[in-house]
Amino acid sequence: MNQVIQLKIRCIGSLLVKSVGSMGRLNLILLLIAVFFFYGMLKQVGWGSLEQYFHQVGYPGILLLVPYGIMNLLTAVAWRLLLVDSVVAVPVVRLFWLRLAGESLNQLTPTASLGGEPFKAIRLKDSGVPWQQATASLIIHKGLMVMSLALYIILSLALVPFVMPAGGVRLGLLLSCTLLLSGAGVAFVVLQHRNPCVQVIRMLERWGKCPAVLKAKEAELASLDAAMAGFYRQYPRKGALAFLLLFLNWLLQGGEVYLIFHLLGQPVTWQLALCLDALAMIFTALGFMIPVQLGVQDGGNVLLALGFRLGAAAGLAFSIMRRVREAFWLLVGLVVITWKR
C-alpha cells in the first residue's frame, strides 16, 4: 500500500513539474512583465524606505501567520459541510491540509487558480470518498467562495465613501469589475443546477466532436450533475452555513490587513482595512493568469495606498508583508503535497 501511495506522490510531483515546464508563452510573457514591474516598484520606492517599516515590525511579525491559518480552517469546515453523502467521515484536519496543498498548486502553476482542484479530488478519492462526491463538493465550494467574495467586496465598497480622501480612489472601473465578478459567481452556481456535464456532451454530439472516452463516462458524469443539483435542493441550510463561514473567512482577511498596518506602525481603522482588502481582491482577480498574481496584486496595493493617502512605501511594505505570509503557507502546502500518508 505504501508503494502505491509513493507512486501516486511521484506522479503528482511529475505533473506539477510538467505543468510548470509547459507554461504557455502568454504566461511566460506576463510573468516576465510582472517581474520587471515589481522590480521597478522596489527601485522607485527605495529599499531604505521599506527597511524602516520592517524594522518597525520586528519579531511580532510572526503573528501575521495566524490569521491565514484560521481562514484556511474556516474554509476547510465549509468544505466538510458540503461532503454530505460520503460514507467516509473525512476529518476537518485532513481537509485543512488538503486545502493548503491544493491552493499551493493553484497559486504556483499557470492554471488560472484551478491546478490544485484535481489534486484535492484525487486525495479525497484516496480517502474513500466517491469521485463524484469529491468533485461535486469542490465545484460547489468554489462557487460559494466566489459568491461570498462578491458580497464581501460589495459591502466593503459601501464603506469607501466614508474613508476615502477627496480625490482619492476612483471606483467606477473597480465597481464594474465587482459586478462582473458577481455575475460570474451567480452564473457558475446557476450552471450547477442545469446538468452541465451532460449538456456539454450533448453539445459536442451536435457538433460531431464528442470523444468516445467522454461518451463512455456519460452515466458517471450524470451522477456528478445530480450530486451538484441535489445538494442545493436537499441541504440548503448546510449550503447557507458554508456560505457564512466563507464570508467570515473574507472578513478575517480584512482583519489581516488591519494587523499588518498596525505592525508597520501606520495604523488604519477597521473600515479602511476592509476597503483596502476588498479593493485589493479585485486586482488579485485581474491577475489570475499570472502565478501568485505577481506584480498585479502588488501594483494594486501600491495604487490603493496612494489613493487612500497612505503612501507608496507603506503600500509596498504592506504587499511584501503579505507576500512573506503567503510564501510561508505556500511552502507548507508544498510539503503536504509530498507528505507520505
Q: Please report, in tens digits, the pLDDT of each residue of the chain (341 residues total).
A: 434 434 443 444 444 444 444 445 655 665 566 666 666 666 666 666 677 777 777 778 888 899 999 999 999 999 999 998 766 788 999 999 999 998 888 887 766 566 678 888 888 888 888 888 888 889 899 889 988 988 898 888 888 777 776 555 566 666 777 777 778 778 877 877 777 777 887 887 778 777 777 777 777 777 777 888 888 888 889 999 999 999 999 999 999 999 999 998 889 999 999 989 988 888 777 666 666 666 667 777 888 888 888 888 888 888 888 888 988 999 999 898 887 55
In a domain, 9, yes or no: no
Chain length of the chain = 341
Using DSSP's 3-state secondary structure scheme, residue 31 falls into helix
Q: Report pLDDT for 290.
A: 65
**Does residue 31 contact residue 291 with C-beta atoms inside 8 Å?**
yes
Quote the pLDDT of residue 95.
93
Q: Is 234 a member of any domain? A: yes
Please state the domain count of the chain: 1
- Closest to 143 in 3D by CA, of 197, 218, 82, 230: 82
Residue 17 lies in a domain: no
- CA dist 298 and 72 (Å) reads 22
With left for phi above 0 and alpha for psi between -120 and 50, is residue 14 left, alpha or beta? Answer: alpha
CB hemisphere CA count around 114 (13 angstroms): 6
Q: Are 139 and 192 in contact (CB under 8 A)?
A: yes
Rounded to whole angstroms, the Cα distance separating 287 from 28 reads 13
What per-residue confidence (pLDDT) applies to 66?
92
Close Cβ partners of 243 (under 8 Å, ≥ 6 residues apart) = 78, 144, 147, 148
Domain that holds residue 223: 58-337
Would 160 be classed as within a structural domain? yes
Give the model's pLDDT for residue 35: 63
- Mark 234-256 as b/e (b = at least 16 C-beta within 10 Å): ebeebbeebbebbbbbbbebbbb
Neighbours of 25 (CB within 10 A): 7
Cell of 193: 443546477
pTM: 0.80
pLDDT at position 44: 64
Question: How far is the C-alpha of 319 from the C-alpha of 50, rounded, in Å?
Answer: 11
In a domain, 202, yes or no: yes
The CA-based dihedral angle spanning residues 309, 310, 312, 315, taken in that order and rounded to the nearest 10 degrees:
-130
- How high is the pLDDT of residue 1? 41
Give the integer Cα–Cα distance in Å for 188 and 284.
19
Question: What pLDDT score was predicted for residue 34?
Answer: 60
Give domain status of residue 34, yes or no.
no
Q: Give dist(CA 189, CA 147) in Å, integer.
A: 8
Burial of residue 47, with CB atoms counted within 10 A of its CB: 0-12 exposed, 13-18 middle, 19 or more buried: exposed
**Residues 161, 165: Cα–Cα separation, whole Å:** 8
Whether residue 25 is contained in a domain is answered as: no
CB atoms within 10 A of CB 10: 11
Grid cell for residue 138: 469542490
Distance CA 257, CA 253 (A): 7
pLDDT at 7: 43
Assigned domain for 40 exists: no
